[in-house]
Each structure stands twice: as C-alpha cells, then as structure tokens.
C-alpha cells in the first residue's frame, strides 16, 4: 500500500513538472506574479493557464459614465475596441477602465469572484431545493441520497452552533440565515479547491460583505440591555463609566473586523501555500535543470497533497467558526440580563 502511494505521488509529481516545465521565469518575481494572479479578482475566468497555453472565459463588463453612457460588453484587452467605445485601460490599476479623457467610470462588471458566487448560489439553491423536495416526498422515512448527506450537517449546525450560542428563545429566528452563511462559505471554499478554482473567501470584499451583514443584524435585533452595557455599563463606578464606554465601543466595532480578517487570512494563506509549493517546481527546474525539477516536483507534490487535504478541513472549520462567532455576537445582542446594581456597589 505504501509503495502504491509513493508511486502515485511520483507520477503526479512528474505530471505537475511536465505541466509547468514550459514556465520560464522572465523576472525574478515570477512566483509572486503567479500567486497574485490567482488570489486577486479579475475580469476574466481562467480555464487553463499552462505554459504558453492560456484559455480564459471573458466576463461581462458593465461600465457607466456621463461621457460614454452605459456600456455592456465582454471583457477585451483590445485598446482599439475600447477607444471606439470611448474608454481606455487604466495602466495603474489592472483591469480598470477610464474614459478617453481620463475620467473615472462607474464599474458594475461581473468579475471572476462575482461569477463564481453566482455559481455557488445556484448550486446551493439546487441542493437545498432538492433536499426540501425529498423531505416532502419521503415524509416519515429515513433520509436517502443527497438528503442523508445534508441532514447531519444541518443538525450539527443547529444543535452545536446556533442553538447554544443564540439561545433557545431566539435561535429559530436566525437559523435560516446561519445555515445559508455556513453552506455558502463552505461550498465556496470547496469550489476554490478545484483546479482553476476561484479565491472567493480569500477576497476581502467578500468577507467584508458577510461581516457587514452580521453587523447589521446585531444593530437591528439588539435589545435595550445590550446598548446599556455598551453605553452605560451597570455596576461600574461612575468615574470609570466614560472609559468603559470607549472600551466597549472599540469592542463593538472590532467584531465585524475580526470576522472578515480571520476568514480572509486563513483562506488566502492556504492558497498562497499551495501555489508557492507548485512554484518551487519550475523555479528549481529553471535553475538546476531536469534532475532538480523532477526531484522538486515529487517532494512538492507530496506536500501539496498534504496541504490540499488540510485545506478541505480548514474550509469546513472556517465556515463553522464564522457561523459560530456570528451566533455569539447576535446571542449577546438579543440576550436579556438581570441587573443587580446594589449588589455590585
């Protein structure tokens, strides 16, 4: 069994080396460019990028300015076509456009991450709709197929994450949102593990949007007691209350920041690590020749496989941690407290 595993790793290493053998570093920062190209958002979806072969799917650009009006077209690198539409590339910002006169435009384009999130949304809708139909069709029977896979995860999120952290009284109100957040993050992370997969949760704009939704829910559903603990802490001497207000407000605004940074940093770190290990193959091959490239490919492939399996676990854990922290923050906001001012004094 160990020999078979070793042979599989060697064969995969040879395949990876052959795939990247045509990558000739033209600059010292070629690895940095490769990594940044993957983890950053883009206006086209890379299908294959191997050596001189580069196949990509152009995505819709939606541009508006008073000078040009509304323009909808597939992404293009042809500056002559852009000029005909009254636009030109902004060479200081990759992929961004300006009007010919240099004025900024309102860019509502479908980027790679937006396109990927739409795919995740459609997949999630199909999965949950199928499971819901299975419950109606097989009412009172044991779960089967996709239903048997999804049901334990729903129960896990409900009983181990949402209910304990929000409380028995309010958890049902927030359960649909929490399940949506959990499965959206988890499915996005799984898709990001595929070849040419997008870096959805490694985009800080995506995690900022998710954290902002949590922040809005805290503000909208918070009880009077919650704000009293922030703005006029009970049981604290009057002289210390102004200081405590500052401390509590810092903690209040830091909650969404910790949410977005934790998810963004963990997912980005995994992608960077995998790409760096792959990048070592053709860097050693370019410097040390065929033997160095083949040797590095075997070792790097073994580490990449290990990190890939680790990332499968991390993708699930990050979805669970984000959901759990969101539940904790909302649970604090909706909790009802009993105050004993005299006992504190």
Tell me the C-alpha distance between 252 and 334, whole Å.
14
Mean pLDDT score, 43-61: 73
Going by C-alpha positions, the residue among 171, 166, 130, 174 that lies closest to residue 148 is 130
Report the DSSP pairing between strands 60-65 and 106-107: antiparallel
- The pLDDT value given to residue 248: 80
pLDDT in tens, 14-39: 445 455 544 444 444 566 666 776 77
Reading the block at residue 149, the tokens are 């896979």
Average pLDDT of the chain, as a whole number: 79
- The pLDDT value given to residue 27: 45
- The pLDDT value given to residue 7: 44
Backbone angles phi, psi at 324, to 5 degrees: -65, -45
pLDDT in tens, 59-107: 898 988 888 888 888 888 888 888 888 888 887 777 788 888 888 888 8
The dihedral region occupied by 51, where left means phi > 0, alpha psi between -120 and 50, and beta the remainder, is: left
Q: Tokens 């070792």 label which residue?
A: 299
Tell me the C-alpha distance between 150 and 133, whole Å.
13
Backbone angles phi, psi at 53, to 5 degrees: -85, 120
- The pLDDT value given to residue 23: 46
Whether 189 contacts 267, CB under 8 Å:
yes
pLDDT in tens, 294-337: 666 667 777 777 877 888 888 899 999 999 999 999 988 887 76
* pLDDT cut 70: percent of the chain above it: 79
- What is the DSSP annotation of 49-81? EETTEEEEEE-EEEEEETTTEEEEEE----HHH
> Which class for 127: exposed (0-12), middle (13-18), buried (19 or more C-beta within 10 A)?
middle
pLDDT in tens, 205-256: 899 999 999 999 988 888 887 787 777 777 777 777 778 778 888 888 888 8
Tell me the C-alpha distance between 67 and 89, whole Å.
16
Helix axes 171-192, 112-137, angle to 10 degrees: 120
**If you count them, how many residues does the chain have?**
345
pTM for the model stands at: 0.82
Residues 6+ apart with CB under 8 A from 234: 228, 339, 341, 344
Helix residue spans in the chain (DSSP H): 2-20, 30-39, 79-84, 112-137, 146-156, 163-166, 171-192, 204-221, 224-231, 241-334, 341-344
Tell me the C-alpha distance between 341 and 345, whole Å.
6
Q: Tokens 């984000």 label which residue?
A: 322
Helix axes 204-221, 241-334, angle to 10 degrees: 90
Cβ atoms within 10 Å, residue 294: 19
- The pLDDT value given to residue 2: 53
Q: What angle do CA 198, 203, 209 make, to 5 degrees?
A: 120
Tell me the C-alpha distance between 207 and 220, whole Å.
20
Q: Tokens 């940093």 label which residue?
A: 265
DSSP-derived 3-state class of residue 97: strand
- The pLDDT value given to residue 289: 57
> Which class for 301: exposed (0-12), middle (13-18), buried (19 or more C-beta within 10 A)?
buried
pLDDT at 283 over 80: no
Reading the block at residue 73, the tokens are 């077209």
């Amino acid at each position: 069994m160990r020999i078979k595993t070793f042979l599989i790793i060697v064969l995969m290493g040879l395949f990876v080396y052959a795939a990247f053998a045509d990558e000739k570093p033209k600059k010292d920062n070629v690895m940095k460019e490769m990594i940044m190209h993957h983890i950053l958002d883009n206006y086209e979806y890379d299908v294959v990028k191997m050596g001189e072969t580069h196949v990509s799917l152009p995505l819709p650009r939606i541009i508006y300015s008073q000078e040009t009006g509304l323009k909808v077209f597939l992404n293009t690198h042809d500056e002559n076509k852009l000029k005909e539409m009254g636009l030109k590339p902004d060479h200081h910002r990759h992929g961004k456009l300006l009007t010919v006169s240099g004025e900024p435009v309102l860019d509502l384009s479908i980027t790679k991450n937006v396109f990927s999130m739409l795919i995740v949304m459609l997949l999630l809708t199909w999965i949950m709709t199928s499971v819901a139909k299975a419950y109606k069709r097989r009412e009172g029977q044991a779960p089967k197929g996709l239903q048997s896979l999804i049901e334990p995860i729903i129960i896990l999120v409900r009983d181990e994450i949402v209910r304990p952290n929000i409380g028995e009284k309010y958890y049902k109100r927030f359960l649909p949102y929490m399940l949506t957040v959990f499965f959206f993050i988890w499915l996005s992370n799984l898709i990001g593990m595929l070849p040419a997969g997008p870096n959805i949760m490694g985009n800080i704009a995506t995690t900022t949007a998710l954290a902002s939704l949590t922040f809005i829910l805290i503000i909208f559903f918070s009880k009077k007691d919650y704000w009293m603990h922030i703005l006029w802490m009970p049981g604290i001497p009057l002289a210390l209350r102004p200081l405590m207000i500052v401390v509590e407000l810092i903690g209040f605004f830091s909650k969404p920041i910790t949410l977005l940074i934790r998810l963004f940093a963990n997912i980005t770190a995994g992608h960077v690590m995998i790409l760096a290990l792959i990048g070592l193959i053709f860097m050693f091959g370019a410097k040390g020749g065929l033997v160095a490239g083949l040797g590095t490919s075997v070792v790097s492939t073994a580490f990449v496989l290990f990190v890939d399996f680790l990332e499968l676990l991390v993708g699930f854990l990050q979805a669970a941690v984000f959901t759990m922290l969101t539940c904790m923050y909302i649970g604090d906001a909706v909790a009802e407290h009993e105050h004993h001012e005299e006992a504190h004094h």
